[in-house]
């Protein structure tokens, strides 16, 4: 199946082989996806959590430099390998950076066996009809072309659903699939991420509407198109099973969504076929002041817990 899918993308031979292997890994390998894609708005909080206060840097350039150093420390840690971490989602500046003298996507795939993804959204519009759709993404085609050249396999883009509003959720799904189609044209696999807020007063109702809208969108895709979907862990175990089993879906992954790692892992264990794509729940306990051995031991414990919840189901 995978060879047929990738041949349809018309890659050069070297890229064809890499993407065939990446696709097989995403579809079949045990493990989870690390989300290392904090952007401008969430970066200061991530740095504070890591132990770098706001007054330790001045301006965006210094802030992103510190964030890149933290991410490189994670990516080069001995425990951060494709044995359990099968993919990693990168912020654009991280994709453009280097790790151990190599472009980050190349380092991840060639040195660590981890499939690289790129976050492409530019943030959220203000809430309307109970949801926040994505802001426009200017220059997306150029960004996608650059990502392909750097060896990126897929992308990720996030919307947020706050209320069980049919009109709003339909708009979120429509936008996700429209941008997803643009991404697919570049030979990349998009991760659609319509997040349902864990604070939603009718989270279960929102999930029902969302599942129906996603199934309609998947059914309308050309047979050769493949997507991944990143979702909040549902209130009802195995609720997204129809999405997981859909022939156009490579993998369904779960965001932690504000749950603690312990709570997110317990919930994820109840959902068969769904693997983690955690950000804060992966890195929250890491500190700049740690020695390299302490840092890796803490990261390894986090990786092991998330891996087990992704693979060893109740």
Catalytic residues: 193, 230
In which element (H, E) is residue 182 found? helix 166-184
Bridge partners, 191 (sequence order):
156, 228
| Number of other CB atoms surrounding residue 251 within 10 Å | 24
| Number of other CB atoms surrounding residue 62 within 10 Å | 11
- How many Å is the Cα radius of gyration of the chain? 18
| CA torsion through residues 217, 218, 219, 223, sign | positive
Distance (Å, whole) CA 178 – CA 170? 12
**Chain centroid offset of residue 200 CA:** 22
Tokens coding 32: 């989870």
| CA torsion through residues 259, 262, 265, 267, sign | negative
């Amino acid at each position: 199946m995978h060879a047929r899918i990738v041949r349809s993308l018309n890659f050069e031979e070297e890229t064809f082989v890499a993407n065939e292997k990446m696709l097989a890994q995403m579809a079949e390998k045990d493990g989870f996806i690390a989300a290392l894609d904090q952007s401008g708005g969430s970066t200061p909080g991530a740095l504070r959590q890591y132990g770098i206060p706001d007054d330790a840097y001045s301006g965006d350039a210094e802030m992103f430099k510190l964030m890149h150093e933290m991410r490189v420390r994670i990516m080069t840690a001995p425990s951060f390998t494709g044995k359990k971490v099968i993919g990693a989602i990168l912020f654009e500046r991280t994709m453009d950076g280097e790790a151990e003298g190599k472009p980050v996507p190349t380092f991840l795939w060639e040195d660590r066996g981890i499939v690289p993804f790129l976050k492409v959204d530019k943030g959220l519009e203000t809430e309307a009809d109970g949801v926040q759709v994505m802001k426009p993404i200017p220059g997306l085609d150029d960004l996608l072309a650059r990502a392909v050249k750097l060896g990126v396999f897929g992308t990720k883009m996030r919307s947020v659903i706050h209320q069980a509003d049919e009109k709003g959720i339909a708009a979120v799904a429509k936008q996700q699939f429209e941008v997803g189609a643009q991404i697919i044209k570049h030979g990349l696999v998009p991760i659609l991420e319509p997040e349902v807020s864990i604070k939603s007063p009718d989270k279960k109702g929102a999930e029902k509407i969302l599942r129906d809208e996603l199934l309609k969108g998947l059914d309308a895709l050309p047979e050769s198109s493949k997507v991944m979907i990143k979702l909040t862990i549902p209130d009802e175990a195995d609720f997204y099973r129809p999405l997981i089993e859909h022939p156009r879906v490579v993998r369904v992954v779960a965001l932690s969504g504000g749950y603690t790692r312990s709570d997110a892992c317990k919930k994820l264990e109840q959902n068969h076929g769904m693997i983690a794509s955690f950000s804060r729940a992966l890195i929250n306990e890491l500190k700049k002041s740690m020695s390299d051995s302490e840092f890796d031991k803490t990261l390894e414990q986090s990786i092991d817990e998330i891996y087990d919840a992704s693979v060893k189901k109740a």
